Structure 1
Amino acid sequence: MSAKIKFEIEFPIHASTKMLYQYFATPSGLSEWFADNVNSRGELFTFIWDGSEEQAKVLQERPEEKIRLKWLEDEDPKSYFEFRLEIDAITKDVSLIVTDFAEEDEIEESKMFWENQIEELKHTIGA
Structure 2
Amino acid sequence: MEKTKFVSDYQINTSKKIIYPYLSTASGLSQWFADDVTINEDKIYNFVYDGEDHYARPVIMRTNHHVKFEFFDPTEGPDNGMDHSFIEFKLEENELTQTFYLRVVDYGDTYSEQEQKSIWEGLINGLKEIIGG
TM-score calculated relative to the size of structure 1: 0.86
1:3-38 Cα deviation digits (max 9, x unpaired) = x22221100010000110000100110111111211
Q: Which amino acid aligns with 2:58?
A: V
Question: Is residue 102–residue 110 contact of structure 1 (8 Å, CA) maintained in 2?
Answer: no
Task: Compute the displacement of 1:112 (Å).
Answer: 1.3
1:60 aligns with 2:60: yes
Q: 1:78 and 1:52 mapped to 2: Cα distance?
A: 18
- Counterpart for residue 110 of structure 1: 116
1:101 aligns with 2:107: yes
Question: Is residue 86–residue 106 contact of structure 2 (8 Å, CA) maintained in 1?
Answer: yes
- Counterpart for residue 92 of structure 1: 98
Q: What stretches of structure 2 of length at least 5 have no aligned partner?
A: 74-80
- Counterpart for residue 32 of structure 2: 33
Task: Tell me the C-alpha RMSD between the 2 structures.
Answer: 2.2
Q: 2:110 and 2:88 mapped to 1: Cα distance?
A: 19
Question: Is residue 6–residue 116 contact of structure 2 (8 Å, CA) maintained in 1?
Answer: no
Q: Which amino acid aligns with 2:48?
A: I
Task: Compute the displacement of 1:57 (Å).
Answer: 1.2
Question: Is residue 84–residue 98 contact of structure 1 (8 Å, CA) maintained in 2?
Answer: yes
Task: Compute the displacement of 1:102 (Å).
Answer: 4.3
Task: Compute the displacement of 1:55 (Å).
Answer: 1.2
Question: Is residue 16–residue 65 contact of structure 2 (8 Å, CA) maintained in 1?
Answer: yes
Q: 2:6 and 2:62 mapped to 1: Cα distance?
A: 21
1:87-108 Cα deviation digits (max 9, x unpaired) = 1112211000000124555332
TM-score calculated relative to the size of structure 2: 0.83
Aligned residues: 126
SS of the residue corresponding to residue 97 of structure 1 reads strand
SS of the residue corresponding to residue 104 of structure 2 reads strand
